[in-house]
């Protein structure tokens, strides 16, 4: 098993969500979801125009 420093984010978030004591802690689950989503949103905001250019260039026929 890995230490906390070497686990992928998805494994660490799974560990956080599944360490409850029988009570569903929605606040912890939502915080984990936000932590997972924020880096992707930042990358899309900063590089979104390049994604659109790539899609448009791939859609040109000929």
Burial (CB < 10 A; 0-12, 13-18, 19+), residue 1, is: exposed
Cβ pair 16, 28 in contact under 8 A: yes
Dist CA 36 CA 62 (whole Å): 39
- pLDDT tens-digit profile, the chain (62 residues): 556 578 888 788 888 777 767 777 888 888 888 888 999 999 999 998 898 888 888 887 76
Q: What is the pTM of this model?
A: 0.55
Q: By the 8 A CB rule, do 51 and 44 touch? A: yes
Tell me which DSSP letter residue 3 carries.
-
């Amino acid at each position: 098993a890995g230490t906390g420093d070497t686990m992928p984010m998805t494994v660490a978030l799974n560990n956080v969500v599944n360490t409850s004591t029988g009570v569903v802690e929605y606040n912890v689950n939502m915080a984990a979801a936000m932590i997972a989503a924020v880096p992707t949103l930042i990358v899309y905001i900063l590089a979104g125009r390049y994604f659109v250019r790539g899609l448009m260039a791939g859609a040109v026929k000929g």
